[in-house]
Structure 1
Amino acid sequence: MSQPDLPLLIDRTSATPLAVQVADGLRAAATEGRLRGGDRLPSSRTLAAQLGVSRTVITAAYDQLHAEGWLSGRHGSGTYLTASPAAAPHSPASVTAEDPAADLLDLVPGTPCVAAIDRAAWRRAWRAAGDRIPAAHKNRAGEPDYCEVVAEHLLRHRGLGAGSDTVVLATNGTGSAVSELAAALLRPGDAVAVEEPGYLRAVGALRAAGIRVVPVPLDVDGLRVDLIPPNVRAVYCTPAHQFPLGARLPATRRVALVDFARRTGALVIEDDYDGELRYDTAPLPLLATLAPDVVVHLGTTSKILSTTLGVGWLVATPEIANAVVAHREWTGTHPAPAGQRVLVELARHGDLARHLRRLRREMPPRRALLVDELRAHGLDVSGDDAGSHVTVPLPTAAQEERAVAAARTHGVLLDGLARHHSGPPREFGIPLGYAALPPADLATAARIAAHCIATS
């Protein structure tokens, strides 16, 4: 094996002889795993020159370690470490948590349909992104061509035109964007209204920034705008497809929410996490289209493509965008460029648009399969004909818990509504995602889930 680096420290003021210090340092390096059995040590002349000591010092240290059995000499080859203790085992706590979906059929909402990705197009995009010259400087706002691609994507697929009154920024995803908005625009202790139940990662991002979260109830039409307290600084919501209940905020409430924001000076954070996945009817206009002056629009690639890219976007007024970029300058953070470049290449060759068309064809039969199975077991299903999940309401927390536990024993991973509350749970049921599994596995998981929920 090659000679290892030996960070040995020599203290010429110490009463301990130099040869003993060298021997102690080599012994410690072997004990701590910095040296391994079979490692070739530098020659006595080389190590003496590195440490600035006489060769006699190194020879004496090597002789001592030879006598202890740490070293062996091979004629014409050099001096080698004979053995070293086995490395200490890693604590299980230091390893990433076990993926519960690894051995279970996953019906948890929020997982993208990666099976719909054209693998040839995926590989082509990554190769093309890798052919670009590596960046030497960080672009805090995002790659310019990525922001242009996102602007075109939003115009074509969501009807949102980013013009002179708004700016597109790259983000590392929705949670990261919420964190940045909280840090750049709000102060610890400020109140932000959130949907209840809602997206807990956004709630966690707000709370991590010291923001006071104010839960606002929902009904069949989504967020109860009339119940938002007047003193909140912002409102976080998912109006196109409420997560996790699946409602679509109607036009009257959208107008009311915009009026509330303009009247109170609050900011509306619109999370359009799966707005591209509507296949029953044309989506209602985005809040950001209605009121770009008071709405920040968030989007992500993690629901329409893959979490591998790790990128999203933010559309806001120049004032807000500049505040976010200033926060990034202050903290040294920036959105990852690799995922941005891959999305640019997917869009450049038309593969992104083709993928979205494929998803819109793929999702309806999956939804129908799941819904038919649930209704065949006498279960109610809520949620718009959009996105990639539906919800089965249940009357009690106990029934929800029994359904989740029973499904797990039969190899199916389910989620429950109770954990999506930031306050005491008031809605119970099972949100079911239908994007992650292949159709055959989805059919099996749907039968098991429907039975477990119906008998809970």
Structure 2
Amino acid sequence: MSAQLVGQLRTAMGEGRLAAGERLPASRALAALLGVSRTVVTEAYEQLYAEGWLEGRHGSGTYVTEGVAAPPMPKPRPVEARSVKRAAAPHEIDLRAGLPWVGALDTPAWRRAWRLASGMAPQQRQDPHGLPGLRAALADYVRRSRGVACPVDGLLITRGATNGLDLLAATVLRPGDRVGVEEPGYRRARAVLAGRGAEVVPCPVDEHGLIVDGLPDGLRLVHTTPSHQFPMGGVLPVPRRQALLAWARRNGALVAEDDYDGEFRYDVAPLPALYGLDPDVVVYLGTTAKILTADMGVGWLAGRPALVREIALRREELNDRTAVVPQDALRLLLERGDLDRHVRRMRGEYARRRDVVVRALDGLVLRGDTAGMHLVVDVPAPVAAGVERAAAERGVLVETLRHHHAGPLGAPGLVIGYGAAANPAELRAGCEIVRELVTTRR
């Protein structure tokens, strides 16, 4: 019981409920008040004396030591009520964006890569850049698939695009720096940059992506998704890409290119990454979360070598690392050609799924359906909100564009993802329910 009393008193002093210099009751009086033996109280006081929490004053009693108690705890500021995105139940059809189809991963190649990688010996120290073999294999892959001609010393292995953005922010941003994020845009990017002390500035987009003419001066960094703007689905045209790079050079800013699903395009070949136009001002962020699964936990960051070295040093200071077994599994998938085959297979699979969605939503206005794994249904905000609620009641999970805005709603609509559904038939059924709900609310 004395240990319990020690903990309670320690907490009260640490939180400021017992203030510095405050006199504690005599051991006999406190024991009587608590209904315990005096020995329990004296043992607790002795422990807190030894830890420095209490001090005795001759002939006066026992007091909280000056300087150890915290000031009274301020009341926490109210925060916006939000819910964690939950996994879909077995009976539900998941049409939320950003989720790949993981059913295609149960292959001999996938299992073989993990089995061989699991035989790696544990490492005492890890190169903060990542495993050299994976970096070499990735340098070849991003050159072939995304037009990113990056030297190996310009690559750093991360846990995903969000982790890469966080490491970049931790390296180049100072508290109060202004950074731009597309509006509507990727919520996690806003959270990461705000968490590093930056002032996040919403930057408007249209059907083609980021509106470069609307970028304010004075931004230190801009986060953008040019290959398939999230969530609106626009593909940034070449003139705007050139204008964005010119703006970055003029302002001494960096462009963080989040290429989350750039491998998937259905009308023409995927556009090369923005990084290829100006590697000096673009930091390229890639991930396996969309081409494989988020459970892989591996991504990459490409930039000019001097900046990547600075990021690696900062990463070591933060004790941030990517697990080596997933790194080696990805290396094996790359070196054996398994990842390239998987991406080709998934490009065909997502193209078929996209066609299912377009046919099921016939008659509705669709945007952003030429690339990626989601599209947008253009409907008024009240209709979108009503469909989201009604669809959930019928076992279909879908989100509105409201979820992706930081400020006032600019572009209303529904975001339809076609990666997570178990099969095309389920996808068709879910989209037909959405179409029915939209039609009855017009």
Q: For this structure pair, what is the TM-score category when the shorter chain's length is used for normalisation? A: 0.7 to 0.9
Which aligned segments of 4 or more residues in structure 1 are displaced greater than 4 angstroms?
Answer: none
Corresponding residue of 1:60: none
Does 2:142 align with 1:148?
no
User: 1:109·1:388 contact (CA, 8 Å) conserved in 2?
Assistant: yes
Give distance in 2, aligned partners of 1:439 and 1:407.
Answer: 18
Alpha-carbon deviation of 1:285? 2.9
Alignment of structure 1 residues 8-27 onto 2, 5 Å: none
User: 2:207·2:233 contact (CA, 8 Å) conserved in 1?
Assistant: no
Corresponding residue of 1:121: 109
User: 2:257·2:285 contact (CA, 8 Å) conserved in 1?
Assistant: yes
Q: Which amino acid aligns with 2:368?
A: G
Does 2:385 align with 1:401?
yes
Give distance in 1, aligned partners of 2:140 and 2:378.
Answer: 38
Aligned residues: 366
Alpha-carbon deviation of 1:194? 1.1
User: 1:299·1:313 contact (CA, 8 Å) conserved in 2?
Assistant: yes
Q: Which amino acid aligns with 2:394?
A: H
Alignment of structure 1 residues 164-243 onto 2, 5 Å: 167-243=154-230
Does 2:262 align with 1:275?
yes
Corresponding residue of 2:400: 416
Give distance in 2, aligned partners of 1:191 and 1:425.
Answer: 22
Give distance in 2, aligned partners of 1:240 and 1:98.
Answer: 25
**TM-score (structure 2 length as normaliser):** 0.79
Question: 1:419-455 CA distances to partner (integer Å, 9 max, x unpaired)?
Answer: 1012222111111111111112112111112212333
Alpha-carbon deviation of 1:97? 6.0
Aligned alpha-carbon RMSD (Å): 2.4
Give distance in 2, aligned partners of 1:183 and 1:313.
Answer: 16
Corresponding residue to 2:313 among 305, 326, 333: 326
| 3-state SS of 1:302 partner | coil
Alpha-carbon deviation of 1:335? 1.8
**TM-score (structure 1 length as normaliser):** 0.76
| 3-state SS of 1:183 partner | helix
Aligned identity (percent) is 44
Alpha-carbon deviation of 1:404? 0.3
User: 1:241·1:384 contact (CA, 8 Å) conserved in 2?
Assistant: no
Give distance in 1, aligned partners of 2:254 and 2:329.
Answer: 32
Does 2:377 align with 1:392?
yes
Does 2:418 align with 1:430?
no
Alpha-carbon deviation of 1:102? 2.2
Corresponding residue to 1:101 among 88, 97, 101: 88
Corresponding residue of 1:339: 326
Alpha-carbon deviation of 1:345? 1.4
User: 1:234·1:268 contact (CA, 8 Å) conserved in 2?
Assistant: yes
User: 2:120·2:325 contact (CA, 8 Å) conserved in 1?
Assistant: no
Corresponding residue of 2:366: 381
| 3-state SS of 1:162 partner | coil
Give distance in 1, aligned partners of 2:292 and 2:230.
Answer: 18
Question: 1:168-206 CA distances to partner (integer Å, 9 max, x unpaired)?
Answer: 100111111111111110101101111110111111101
Change (3 A) 1:194 1:98: closer
Alpha-carbon deviation of 1:118? 4.4
User: 2:146·2:271 contact (CA, 8 Å) conserved in 1?
Assistant: no
Corresponding residue of 2:244: 257
| 3-state SS of 1:308 partner | helix
**Unaligned stretches of 5+ in structure 1?**
1-6, 8-23, 25-95
Question: 1:357-406 CA distances to partner (integer Å, 9 max, x unpaired)?
Answer: 1011111111011111111xx2111004111111102222x222101001
| 3-state SS of 1:428 partner | coil
| 3-state SS of 2:361 partner | helix
Does 2:421 align with 1:439?
no
Q: Which amino acid aligns with 1:122?
A: W
Corresponding residue of 1:63: none
Corresponding residue of 1:112: 100
Give distance in 2, aligned partners of 1:194 and 1:208.
Answer: 14
Q: Which amino acid aligns with 1:105?
A: I
**Unaligned stretches of 5+ in structure 2?**
4-39, 41-82
Give distance in 1, aligned partners of 2:84 and 2:281.
Answer: 39
Does 2:356 align with 1:369?
yes
Give distance in 1, aligned partners of 2:216 and 2:324.
Answer: 39
| 3-state SS of 2:249 partner | helix
Corresponding residue of 1:160: 148
User: 2:157·2:322 contact (CA, 8 Å) conserved in 1?
Assistant: yes
Q: Which amino acid aligns with 1:385?
A: T
Q: Which amino acid aligns with 2:389?
A: A
Point out the more displaced range, 101-110 or 401-410. 101-110
Q: Which amino acid aligns with 1:191?
A: R
| 3-state SS of 1:137 partner | coil
| 3-state SS of 1:303 partner | coil
Alpha-carbon deviation of 1:283? 2.6
Give distance in 2, aligned partners of 1:163 and 1:318.
Answer: 8
| 3-state SS of 1:232 partner | coil
| 3-state SS of 1:364 partner | helix
Give distance in 1, aligned partners of 2:185 and 2:438.
Answer: 22
